[in-house]
Amino acid sequence: MEKKKEIVMSGIRPTGFLHLGNYFGAIRNYVKMQEQFECYFMVADLHSLTTHPDTKELKTNVERVLAENIACGLNPEKAALYCQSHVYETSELYLYLNMLAYKGELEKTVTFKDKVRQHPENVNAGLLTYPVLQTADIIIHKAKYVPVGKDQEQHLEMARNFANRFNHRYGEIFHEPVAYNDNNAALVKVPSLDGAGKMSKSENGMSTLFLSDEDEMIRKKVMKAKTDSGPTQPNTPKPDYIDNIFGLMQLVSAPEVIAKFEADYNNCNIRYGDLKKQLAEDMVNFISPIREKINSILPDKKYLKEVMEMGAEKANKSANATMKLVREAIGLKYY
Ligand code: TYM
């Protein structure tokens, strides 16, 4: 008998154009893992409602995230690629898990505290229980590996807690899901171009490289990255903003190119203009084929609808099977 594949699950919110952080933190691993695992990858449209209550752009954004995933190499025939809201039972599991999640721990979540700071006028209960819904997304498929970037580490830790609490209270149903990067390497954080924080969909657009950026825009953004006049002592530790530029090079540039600039830095003869020009061209070479694929997939609404339907069917099959066990374990079965 064929050995059952281990299960992988992850998601991305449809709150804007996808960027290099989404690619290297998450999608790159989706593409690798689809070959080997049973994979569920979704557009987290319900999660986006916690911060984006205006749904005028929702359909366009959902289609874009699907097209962007496919353009990066995700194959909807291999992985289930679906929308969170098409799996109704996720909301049911979310409700049960909410009884196992405590207000105090939810209030301590870093992402919650950030959102409260950014938008004090919209501190809704959905935002507070965001990690509970994320747990439901993951464990409804009994997933073991969750390919995500570093910023999701705490959510995964909470998912393990909630899954464990469920198992203790009602019986062993769930695995403990773990945040995953290829080869068990450290989780990725792609830095922003302005040297502060990480690339993100919502922060300053000029410091984030989007997978849809035109070549000239990529060049413009990279050339604007902060530098200084260079080190004056050999082997000086790099300031954060310079370290970030080298970090971005690690993602797209050839090892010998990086080694040359590292040596120049350590010998105090680095020319940051040349460094950024090199990085800009390597980024253009990396991003432009993806952008072109996105642009060719996006107009095909019929295909995107088929992808969503096929994904929903696979995801619902898996969710249905888990939820039967869950209801029984809780005792919600009277005849
Ligand atoms: P979201 O939409 O913010 O980001 C999607 C994925 O991209 C990763 N990422 C990054 N990785 C490295 N460097 C960066 N600068 C960077 N920016 C974003 C994120 O870590 C993530 O993997 N809560 C999730 C969505 C979600 C989910 C789930 C994820 C909902 N349910 C279940 C996993 C499993 C989120 O907001 O991702």
Q: What is the structure's pLDDT at 183?
A: 87
Q: What is the structure's pLDDT at 203?
A: 65
Q: What is the structure's pLDDT at 114?
A: 95
Rounded Cα–Cα distance for residues 79 and 59 (Å):
21
Number of folded domains in the chain? 2
Q: What is the structure's pLDDT at 49?
A: 97
Residues 102 and 22 in one domain: yes
Degrees, nearest 5: CA angle 155-45-30: 60
Q: What is the structure's pLDDT at 225?
A: 94
Q: Kindly give the distance from the C-alpha atom of residue 152 to the centroid of ligand 1, in angstroms, as a whole number.
A: 6
Residues 221 and 96 in one domain: no
Which of 14, 1, 71 lies closest to 45, judged by CA? 14
Catalytic residue check, 201: yes
Residues 41 and 109 in one domain: yes
Cβ(189) – ligand 1 distance below 6 Å: yes
* Substitution candidate for ligand 1 out of 39, 140, 151, 158 with most atoms within 8 A of CB: 151
Alpha helices (H) in 224-268, listed in sequence order: 240-252, 255-266
Q: What is the structure's pLDDT at 197?
A: 86
Q: For residue 13, which atom of ligand 1 is closest to its CA?
A: 2
Domain containing 134 — which CATH number?
3.40.50.620
Please list, residue by residue across 124-136, b when 16 or more beta carbons sit within 10 angstroms of its beta carbon and e when fewer do.
eebbbbbbbbbbb
Nearest CA to ligand 1 atom 20: 149
Q: What is the structure's pLDDT at 4?
A: 87
198 lies in some domain = no
Q: What is the structure's pLDDT at 151?
A: 97
192 lies in some domain = no
Rounded Cα–Cα distance for residues 71 and 69 (Å):
5
Residues 25 and 156 in one domain: yes
Q: What pTM did the predictor assign? A: 0.96
Cβ(81) – ligand 1 distance below 6 Å: no
Residues 19 and 110 in one domain: yes
Nearest CA to ligand 1 atom 17: 21
Q: What is the structure's pLDDT at 1?
A: 58
Q: What is the dihedral of CA 36, 38, 44, 46, to 10 degrees?
A: -170
Q: Write the pLDDT tens digit of every residue in 24-40.
A: 999 999 999 999 999 99
Q: Which of 142, 198, 221, 276 is catalytic?
A: 198
Q: What is the structure's pLDDT at 194?
A: 86
Q: What is the structure's pLDDT at 2?
A: 65
Q: Token pair 């403990």 is at which residue?
A: 176
Rounded Cα–Cα distance for residues 317 and 319 (Å):
6
234 lies in some domain = yes
Cβ(199) – ligand 1 distance below 6 Å: yes
193 lies in some domain = no
Domain coverage including residue 183:
7-187+300-330
244 lies in some domain = yes
Q: Which of 201, 221, 276, 314 is catalytic?
A: 201
Domain containing 251 — which CATH number?
1.10.240.10
Q: Which portions of the chain are predicted below pLDDT 50?
A: none
C-beta of residue 84 within 8 angstroms of C-beta of residue 45: yes
Residues 86 and 234 in one domain: no
Residues 223 and 276 in one domain: yes
Catalytic residue check, 3: no
Radius of gyration of the chain measured on its C-alpha atoms: 21
